[in-house]
Chain A
């Protein structure tokens, strides 16, 4: 009987941890994709001036993990 109670307690703790960790990860993913939506590289944007090259580098770096 005692063993069964310990198994249930263990499962609750592990389940809680898994739920907590997945929630954290989801928040991180959302923040990341919002960043990337603002900095998406497109074929049509220019790299004529040096400053435009810098902007392109910043945008591309924002897409790195």
Chain B
């Protein structure tokens, strides 16, 4: 009798625990799946968010939207300027897109110099280059940093909040450069950006002091 009660209670326990675990896991999965579906279904565009930082964060979290909007929308750094400036800015981005596919960093840099209008190779010097070309060159270098920061976020080395804050600062600096603001103003903003960048990357890039 005791044996039978013991055996039946063990069987009942096994059946109940199996039911409970399967119910738990199925509802959990259903929740994750429904969340995933909700995310992909709800975000169609990042353009309707109000602030620059929100738009940038939205694109980091939704790479497929970001990829589509890269072709359909005006580049963030080019916005808010006169029409001629916007057009020149978009041309710079369009023409320099090929540079970011260069594997070798020196080749990439040569490409940036070429696309920004700096002609060192023809015996010229950077000093002799027109100011607009120098500004274009800094914009392309900043975009290079932006791409790297996006990569760090994709790899999970920094959070999306850190990435969106850093990229927002980069876009603001690029806007200042394109708007022709003074070197002193641009440098002040870059110092601020560097501090935040070093804090964010100090955990995975050796030799980066986060107090500078």
**What residues of chain A have their CB less than 8 Å away from a CB belonging to chain B?**
33, 36, 40-48, 50-54, 56-61, 63-65
CB distance from B196 to the nearest CB of A (A): 13
Pair A40/B121 contact, Cβ less than 8 Å: no
Inter-chain residue pair count (beta carbon < 8 A):
76
Q: Which residues of A contact B157 (CB under 8 A)?
A: none
Residue of A41, A48, A54, A60 near B105 (CB, 8 A) is A48
Pair A44/B106 contact, Cβ less than 8 Å: yes
Pair A47/B105 contact, Cβ less than 8 Å: yes
CB distance from B169 to the nearest CB of A (A): 13
Pair A50/B205 contact, Cβ less than 8 Å: yes
B186 located at the interface, meaning its Cβ lies under 8 Å from any Cβ of chain A in the complex:
yes
Residue of B106, B125, B187 near A46 (CB, 8 A) is B106
B81 located at the interface, meaning its Cβ lies under 8 Å from any Cβ of chain A in the complex:
no
Task: Tell me the nearest residue of chain B to A36, going by C-beta.
Answer: B127
| B contacts with A: majority SS | helix
- Of the candidates A41, A48, A54, the one having the most CB atoms from chain B within 10 angstroms of its own CB is A41
A61 vs B194: C-alpha distance in the bound complex, in angstroms? Answer: 15
Q: Which residues of B contact A43 (CB under 8 A)?
A: 106, 109-110, 113, 120-121
What 10 A-B pairs have minimum CB-CB distances, sorted nearest first?
Answer: A41-B126, A48-B105, A64-B183, A36-B127, A60-B138, A47-B109, A57-B141, A47-B105, A63-B134, A60-B137
A41 vs B142: C-alpha distance in the bound complex, in angstroms? Answer: 16
List 17 A-B pairs, Cβ < 8 Å: A40-B126, A40-B127, A41-B126, A42-B120, A43-B113, A45-B109, A46-B105, A47-B141, A52-B105, A53-B144, A53-B148, A54-B145, A58-B190, A60-B141, A61-B186, A61-B187, A63-B134
A59 vs B186: C-alpha distance in the bound complex, in angstroms? Answer: 13
